[in-house]
Amino acid sequence: MPELLEVHDVVAGYGNGPAILDGTSIKVRGGQIQCIIGPNGAGKSTLLKTICGNLPIRSGEVLLGGERIVGLQPHEILRKGICFVPQERALFPRMSVRENLRMGGYILNDRAELERRIDDVLERFPILRERAHQLASTMSGGQQQMLTMARTMIVRPRIVMLDEPSLGLAPKIVDQVYDIIKLLRDEGITILLIEQNALMGLKNADWGVVLDLGKTLFEGPAKEILADERIQELYLGRRSKAA
Amino acid sequence: MTNAIQVLILGVMLGGVYALMASGLTLIFGVMRIVNLAHPIMIIWGAFVAYWLFKLYGIDPLVSMPIAAAFMFLVGIVLYKLVYAREAASAKYSEMTVLLTFAVALVMDGAVSTAFSNTQRVTSPPYATDAFIFGPIFIPTAQLYAGIVSIILVGGLFAFLQFTRTGYAIRATTQNRTAAQLLGVNVAFISLLTFAIGSALAGASGALVSFVFSFFPAKHWEWIAVLMSLVVLGGMGKLVGTIVGAFVLSIIAAFVGTYAGATWSTITFFLALFLILLIRPQGLFGDPIEGT
Amino acid sequence: MSLNPGASGEVDNVVAARRAYNAGLAATKREDRSWGFVVGFVILLAALPLLQFVGNANYVLHMALYTFMYIAMTSAWNIVGGYTGYISLGHNVFFGIGGYFSGMILAGAGISTLITAPLAGLVAAACGIVVGLITLRVRGPSFIISSIALLMIVRILFDNWDYIGGSNGLSVPVNDLDVRWTKLPYFYAMLVIAILTVIVSYKIKHSKFGLGLRALSQDEVKAESAGIDTFTYKVMAFAISAFFVGMCGAIWGEYLTYIRPNIFLIILVAANMVLMGIIGGKGTVAGPIVGTVLIVAFNEYMVYQFGASALNILGTGIVMLLTLMFFPLGIVGTLAKKRKLPRFLDWD
């Protein structure tokens, strides 16, 4: 499959602090769910922030479909087709479901088209359609996450990046969230997600990346990574058979 | 009974004026998390614009209201670029920013005090001394016009925020700055625009106020406390809360002023503030405070 | 699947880099303080009245007295505004309470404020506790607004309270000392109060209490979860601050021989306290002193050049604006950050 997004040797950090990403490289393949796992402080969130333009890159390259996107403003990167959903609620609490969806399409110029896409999305998510005029803050955690995901569909992005989509949700709701993620993938959207819960992330993904100490350590089909003993010991909490 | 209705109507009109005065303040706080202590002196500047336009060219203050608004819009842009642009980037509440606005207030106060001295002034268009008489009810025309225009403007602000794309962007930035930015909102520009709009609202309310109250530069200190109390009451940044608070308190203050004397009517706002801090610190419509 | 070789060697590099970075962050604390210089300077100040033997030093004594008072008040303000991070823009409410309390006693029973000042301070502190119990429950912006509102309430109340003189205020008798020495008692009283306030400020800064205040000024929620009773700490700081401001009010009332709301309860007094605190260095011990001296000198210069007009307000505003924009840490703070603070000012 063609490589949609390429990150080459990126070095980045916060303020004048040390480099959190220390020469990180990944390749994101189109049409797949790619999951990044790794311990705290490894640089997973930082990586997503550099891709979407929220954090300046000190050195390195980021290519989208072969085009350089380093140095672009976040809203320009959004227009190019990369949508980032940050950790924790990304919604507007005092806006209704419909208004939140409308904000999702803020960069669209055609108001009529925007309304059509909103209706479209509401069709696919009956739970949201029922609550179209309900304030986002009054919905349950799972419903809010559903709204967050649905909102990404409004701009028809090429890539959606999710920072810990299962955070703070009950296991049954997490399954529903991943169902939606798979739905997005089936629509042709490429998903790049971070999961602290490595096991769950890899189980639901097509491709896996292991990040540690600001560098990419392992990369491959999710199932293979799950099965690898070294990774099981270091990152999945299984004791090695030799011990 | 007719007296009560009269006081009620006066209270509503006053509420409209205070709501307009406070709405710019609330808007700015919502988007930029800046408590703009210089807002009331901007109102005074607007009042001076209307006053001089009337004194020198005979222009009715209701007509010069949009001029005052436009003038203060520009002043707002200049102030923002000079003083607040660096702070607004982080848009989290900081004491330093409040002190900055305090300093700006002193500068703007000193400027008009020096230029125009501290004498009391009031714009006196012909209707300033008239009154509408509906049967037994007697409403001064000035209060009535100011109140109605204020209510229309506040309504207009509301409509702008609810129904236009920019209004959406402003509301989104108020509620979740990061998410707004990630969805393509240019939050730096929105901060600038909101500050300018807030300043324009101050200018407009100044023009109205110029023929309702007599004003002098140092009066802004009194208004700071009143308007700020309204903002806290409403829930720090919630426009609806501020507007509701303005009407409710103005009505109460009108009754207090009538039956206990004019000096006590302003105290109503301050006492209400303390009461709210005691009972419900987050204000009428605010989000619960962390840790309480 | 690709595996980066030598991944374990990276760990050591990262740890070493982290250690070096942290070492650079740690500011070195001065252990040696030059108290000799300070004590000598205070003795010099105490000897100022001797100038009366040489010529008419009334102006000098007046300015010195005024400066001592603001040093005390700004240092006191700093305990709440600087150490605790709660900016009070109506702090002179305690100035007024102290002034009126002692003034009433002086007018009624003839007892000098020099004796009743500590009591006035306690009354102000008690008011501080009551007010603090209400207003210290809210953070930042709401607190600032409540401090202004409080000042307005007290101003309106005192303006309309005929028992204490209403807006005409209270007149108190002048003391019956020789013309050369009338200012003397107040001069020494203010000097003593200023010294006391600075000492208390120093002690607080270097105590566990002060550490707690600093913690809560940075992140109140985290301080609370670290076990600090933030509410009690805040109220205590507020009360201590009010105590000293109240005492100043008491002495100033007798010195002026009249106590009026439009002198004691105007926002410009609070504005001065805040400005002096900031320009000197909010949160430092020596900052309020430096700031006070500078602003008093600046004000005197402005009055000398332009007369007591609105230009004063304009000038104060511009100074404050420039300080906040370019020297937010104040003089002492900025010098300390650049490691250029002279020893005699480094009391933190």
Q: Which residues in chain A have Cβ-Cβ distances shorter than 8 Å to C19?
A: none
Write out the DSSP string of C164-195: GTGGG-EE-PPP-S-TTTTTHHHHHHHHHHHH
SS3 A221: strand
Q: Which residues in chain B have Cβ-Cβ distances shorter than 8 Å to C150?
A: 270, 274
Between B175, B178, B185, which is nearest A106 by CB?
Answer: B185
Taking any CB pair shorter than 8 Å as contact, residues of chain A touching chain B are 52, 54, 74-75, 78-79, 84-86, 89-95, 99, 102-104, 106-107
* Residue C193 in domain: yes
SS3 A28: strand
Residue of chain B minimizing CA distance to A154: B183
Query: In the predicted model, is pLDDT for residue B72 greater than 90?
Result: yes
pLDDT in tens, C119-175: 999 999 999 999 999 889 887 788 888 898 899 889 989 988 888 888 888 888 887
pLDDT band at B290 (very low <50, low <70, confident <90, very high): very low
* Residue C8 in domain: no
Cβ–Cβ contacts within 10 Å for residue A225, how many? 25
Hey, which chains touch C, using 3+ CB pairs under 8 Å? Answer: A, B
- In chain B, the percentage of residues whose pLDDT exceeds 90 is 37
* Residue B285 in domain: no
Between C4, C18, C21, which is nearest A215 by CB?
Answer: C4
Q: How far is A188 from chain C (nearest CA, A)?
A: 26
- In chain C, the percentage of residues whose pLDDT exceeds 70 is 90
Between β-strands A190-194 and A19-29, what pairing exists: parallel, antiparallel or unpaired? Answer: unpaired
Between CA C96 and CA C102 the distance in angstroms is 10
Q: How far is B8 from chain C (nearest CA, A)?
A: 24
Question: Is B182 within 8 Å of A92 when comparing Cβ atoms?
Answer: no
Average pLDDT, chain C: 86
DSSP E strand boundaries for C97-141: none
* Residue C34 in domain: no
Between CA B19 and CA B276 the distance in angstroms is 18
Q: Range of B75's domain?
A: 2-279
List phi, psi (to 5°) of B139. -120, 120
* Residue C229 in domain: yes
**Bridge partner list, C251:** none
Domain count, chain C: 1
Average pLDDT, chain B: 86
Q: Which residues in chain B have Cβ-Cβ distances shorter than 8 Å to C320?
A: 99, 102-103, 106
pLDDT band at C12 (very low <50, low <70, confident <90, very high): low
Query: In the predicted model, is pLDDT for residue C242 greater than 60?
Result: yes
* Residue C3 in domain: no
Residue of chain B minimizing CA distance to C224: B291
* Better-scored residue on pLDDT, C2 or C262: C262
Give the type of residue at A213: L
Question: Is C1 within 8 Å of A228 when comparing Cβ atoms?
Answer: yes
Between CA B128 and CA B143 the distance in angstroms is 9
Q: Which residues in chain B have Cβ-Cβ distances shorter than 8 Å to A89?
A: 176
DSSP E strand boundaries for chain C: 170-171, 258-259
Question: Is B277 within 8 Å of C134 when comparing Cβ atoms?
Answer: yes
ipTM of predicted complex:
0.84
CB A129 within 8 A of CB A147: no
* Residue B284 in domain: no
Residue B226 maps to which CATH number? 1.10.3470
Question: Is A220 within 8 Å of C1 when comparing Cβ atoms?
Answer: yes
* Residue C10 in domain: no
pLDDT of C26 reads 61
Q: Range of C160's domain?
A: 58-267
Residue B35, classified by CB atoms within 10 Å of its CB into exposed (0-12), middle (13-18) or buried (19+), is buried
* Residue B103 in domain: yes
Query: In the predicted model, is pLDDT for residue C22 greater than 90?
Result: no
Question: Is B270 within 8 Å of C137 when comparing Cβ atoms?
Answer: no
Between CA B182 and CA B176 the distance in angstroms is 10
Taking the whole predicted model, whether its pTM rises above 0.80 is answered as yes
Question: Is C271 within 8 Å of B109 when comparing Cβ atoms?
Answer: no
DSSP assignment, residue A190?
E
Please report how many Cα atoms fall inside a 13 Å half-sphere around the Cα of residue B271, on the Cβ side: 12
pLDDT band at A238 (very low <50, low <70, confident <90, very high): low
Q: Which domains does chain A have, with CATH numbers?
A: 3-235 (3.40.50.300)
Any chain B CB within 8 A of the CB of C325?
A: yes
Any chain B CB within 8 A of the CB of C320?
A: yes
CB C183 within 8 A of CB C65: yes
pLDDT of C70 reads 96
Query: In the predicted model, is pLDDT for residue C3 greater than 60?
Result: no
Q: How far is CA C114 from CA A139, B6, B191, B216, C180, in A?
A: 64, 54, 53, 39, 19
Question: Is B182 within 8 Å of A54 when comparing Cβ atoms?
Answer: yes
Query: In the predicted model, is pLDDT for residue C4 greater than 50?
Result: no
DSSP assignment, residue C266?
-
pLDDT of C239 reads 96
pLDDT band at B4 (very low <50, low <70, confident <90, very high): confident
What's the start-to-end Cα distance of chain A, in Å?
Answer: 40
pLDDT of C99 reads 94
Between CA C204 and CA B278 the distance in angstroms is 29
Any chain C CB within 8 A of the CB of A233?
A: no
Domain count, chain B: 1
Query: Of A142-156, B275-289, C207-221, which range is least confident?
Result: B275-289
Q: Which residues in chain B have Cβ-Cβ distances shorter than 8 Å to C312?
A: 110
pLDDT band at C23 (very low <50, low <70, confident <90, very high): low
The closest of C151, A237, A195, C185 to B224, measured between CA atoms, is C151
Between C3, C11, C14, which is nearest A218 by CB?
Answer: C3
Region B20-42: mean pLDDT is: 90
Query: In the predicted model, is pLDDT for residue B89 greater than 80?
Result: no
pLDDT of B92 reads 58
Between CA A157 and CA A84 the distance in angstroms is 10
Q: How far is A108 from chain B (nearest CA, A)?
A: 10
Between CA B91 and CA A225 the distance in angstroms is 42
pLDDT in tens, C282-323: 889 999 999 999 999 988 888 888 776 677 778 888 988 988
Cβ–Cβ contacts within 10 Å for residue A117, how many? 20
pLDDT of C45 reads 85
Give the angle subtended at the CA of A31 by the CAs of A29 and A36, to the nearest 5°: 55
What's the start-to-end Cα distance of chain C, in Å?
Answer: 57
DSSP assignment, residue C27?
P
Q: How far is B270 from chain C (nearest CA, A)?
A: 6
SS3 C226: coil
pLDDT of A243 reads 40
Give the angle subtended at the CA of A98 by the CAs of A95 and A101, to the nearest 5°: 90
pLDDT in tens, C69-102: 999 999 999 999 999 989 999 999 999 999 999 9
Question: Is A18 within 8 Å of C4 when comparing Cβ atoms?
Answer: no
Q: Which two three-digit tokens encode residue A219?
A: 């990369």
Query: In the predicted model, is pLDDT for residue A202 greater than 80?
Result: yes
pLDDT in tens, C176-192: 788 778 888 899 999 99
pLDDT of C36 reads 78
Between β-strands A207-212 and A67-68, what pairing exists: parallel, antiparallel or unpaired? Answer: unpaired
Query: In the predicted model, is pLDDT for residue A42 greater than 80?
Result: no
Region A4-25: mean pLDDT is: 85
pLDDT of C235 reads 95
Rama region for A98: left / alpha / beta (φ>0; ψ in -120 to 50; rest):
alpha
Which of B182, B185, B186, B187 should one mutate to test binding to chain A, selecting the residue with the greatest count of A CBs within 10 A? B182
Between C85, C150, C313, which is nearest B110 by CB?
Answer: C313
Cβ–Cβ contacts within 10 Å for residue C191, how many? 21
List phi, psi (to 5°) of A8. -115, 115
pLDDT of B69 reads 96
A-to-C residue pairs, Cβ atoms closer than 8 angstroms:
30
pLDDT in tens, A160-189: 999 988 887 888 888 888 999 999 999 889
Query: In the predicted model, is pLDDT for residue A242 greater than 60?
Result: no
Residues in chain C: 348
Query: In the predicted model, is pLDDT for residue B260 greater than 80?
Result: yes
pLDDT in tens, B199-222: 999 999 999 999 888 888 888 888
| Helix (H) and strand (E) counts in chain B | 12, 2
Hey, which chains touch A, using 3+ CB pairs under 8 Å? Answer: B, C
* Residue C250 in domain: yes
Query: Of B174-183, C151-160, C170-179, C253-262, which range is least confident?
Result: C170-179
Between CA C301 and CA C312 the distance in angstroms is 10
Between CA C144 and CA C136 the distance in angstroms is 10
Which of B164, B168, B176 should one mutate to test binding to chain A, selecting the residue with the greatest count of A CBs within 10 A? B176
Between CA B283 and CA B286 the distance in angstroms is 5
Q: Which of B246-255, C22-31, C169-178 has the highest mean pLDDT?
A: B246-255
Any chain A CB within 8 A of the CB of B178?
A: yes
Q: How far is C24 from chain A (nearest CA, A)?
A: 12
Cβ–Cβ contacts within 10 Å for residue A40, how many? 7
Residue of chain C minimizing CA distance to B289: C138
Region C17-23: mean pLDDT is: 65
Q: How far is A220 from chain C (nearest CA, A)?
A: 5
